[in-house]
Amino acid sequence: MFILRKSCVAIVLGTAAVLTAVPGGPAAAEELPCPAHDLGETVIWDWTHLAICDDGRWTVRACAPGTTARQDDSGHAFCA
């Protein structure tokens, strides 16, 4: 399972990535750089948010109220 957490180092597809969140910023608006080989990836940011690598940026999106971030057997993250 890939889990990205604010202000930590995570391993994403074998590459170390340092992610730093904007303190006090709304999660839906946070954008962080992501490498080209991660384009199209969706991973768990924390248990109520997903991070999506699109156009060279990780964009953090909140799950709908009452749902949590999960991951299927193929490694795809989603809210349910």
Give per-residue pLDDT as tens, 10-66.
434 333 343 444 444 444 445 678 887 788 888 898 989 998 888 888 888 999 999
In the chain, domain spans: 8-79
**Both structure tokens of 57:** 């940026």
0.75 surpassed by pTM: no
Burial of 2 (0-12, 13-18, 19+ CB in 10 A): middle
DSSP 45-66: EETTEEEEEETTEEEEEEPPTT
Contacts 24+ apart (CB under 8 A), 9-18: 12/38, 12/41, 12/43, 13/37, 13/38, 13/41
pLDDT value at 73 more than 60: yes
pLDDT at 12: 41
